[in-house]
Structure 1
């Protein structure tokens, strides 16, 4: 009987945490269907704010900008971060490896305001026009360390005997990379891509500093509209973004489950061959 109490208290605490986290989101979603224009009270159910959102060509353009930036920055950051993690793993000196990892983590622990201001000063010094290019470069820069942190543990867990066996069988470095190493660390690469995509999608502080006139992203646009007053079109947009996030998380979970089942199936097949 005594063992039941900690479990009950832990479940109660977990429930409380989820309520605190999701109650504001549920509140926002409910009012996105409000027939009125304010969040003072619910006057009825309506799709009006969603119809207004889809009729807002400026907002649709900003959504496309945000998605394009997120997809491109996550893709490029994943490529750079993956090869960066492979390079770090190949370093012989432990002190040099730890030093580079520490430098890699600087962007992870530095305040976003400082990072954004640094990029603004850097682009101004180089004479780079603020807009799509400056936002894309900034998002790639702060996403690369995330990818490195996701991919490097998978590289460390990879069996060195697989690589040695590939070389013994006559595989070139490129064949070993594409047919042995990359497939083995694929879960880490996908995790890095999803994390980079998510960070880019909802980043505000860094993006706020490096956007120029005529270009904006969702986070900056929502902030600008929120300063002007409550707009339930923002609620509708936030609801759709939340649903997209749920789909991404669900897709990532299903992909992990598929990879795990595939790995188990391969292990069973290998065991059956050994037994035979």
Structure 2
């Protein structure tokens, strides 16, 4: 092992420690019977029990899951057709323009996006609540799906479509029986990423929530402002584990898709 490679691994390990140490610190003290984050006195699951006994909190969790699933599903459908449309634009300059517009929401700060949606909904007359949060999550999830689906479309050989046309397939058959099955790993990856982003989002949701409707991330922020409570630790731990499960699901689906592509490319 070269010296540069060894120092690179050390640097990477330090980055991961800095990123994950606060999370594991929070998770560790969610089991502290002492009620503080200064000294661990004993193991308890009482704070997790408080989370599941809080009816209002469970309703907020349900709201968060409904928003995440609906926004991920709708944004995946729109994003897939958007990626197909961008892929088959004939002029390269027009295609680059659409890609640039698609990437604006990804690179823009969440605060600016949230404030923009707040102004838009106020002008249009949409009341802040379930609908405003759902529309916002759909909007910032669509570019994520497009980015995940486009590489699979670019990998697909045009000869597959030509062969389908030669066999008499209609445009609908080509879409449903050729294109969609081929890019399905990208579709699932985009869905899981959109779901993860929706579950974790705070900045955009903070601007567009209202009328008694809130999500888990906003509720955790509100609870944290009231003072230190290990119930927050337990709630944050559950949210982190759900997000981790979704990310791992995305990873395995992407890995399976890449493996399938390699095997398909190796067939005569």
| TM-score normalised according to structure 2 size | 0.95
Q: How many residues align?
A: 268
CA contact (8 A) 2:71 2:138 kept: yes
- Residue 220 of structure 1 is matched in structure 2 by 218
Q: Structure 2 matches for 1:1-276, cutoff 5 A?
A: 3-263=1-261, 270-271=267-268
Distance 1:250 1:237, change over 3 A: same
Higher alpha-carbon Rg: 1
- Name the SS of the counterpart of 1:105 in structure 2: helix
Cα distance in structure 2, aligned partners of 1:85 and 1:264: 22
- The CA distance in 1 between the partners of 2:104 and 2:256, in whole Å, is 34
Q: CA deviation at 1:75?
A: 0.7
Compute the displacement of 1:7 (Å): 2.3
d(CA) in 2 for partners of 1:261, 1:110: 33
- Provide the C-alpha distance between the structure 2 equivalents of 1:81 and 1:203, rounded to a whole number of angstroms: 19
- For residues 253 and 65 of structure 2, what CA distance do their matches in structure 1 show? 21
TM normalised by structure 1 equals 0.92
Q: 2:59 and 2:181 mapped to 1: Cα distance?
A: 37
Q: Report the alpha carbon displacement of residue 266 of structure 1 after superposing the two structures with TM.
A: 5.1
Report runs of 4+ in structure 1 exceeding 6 Å deviation. none
Look up the SS of the partner of 1:41 in the other structure: coil
Alignment gaps of 5+ in structure 1:
272-276
TM-superposed deviation, 1:110: 1.7
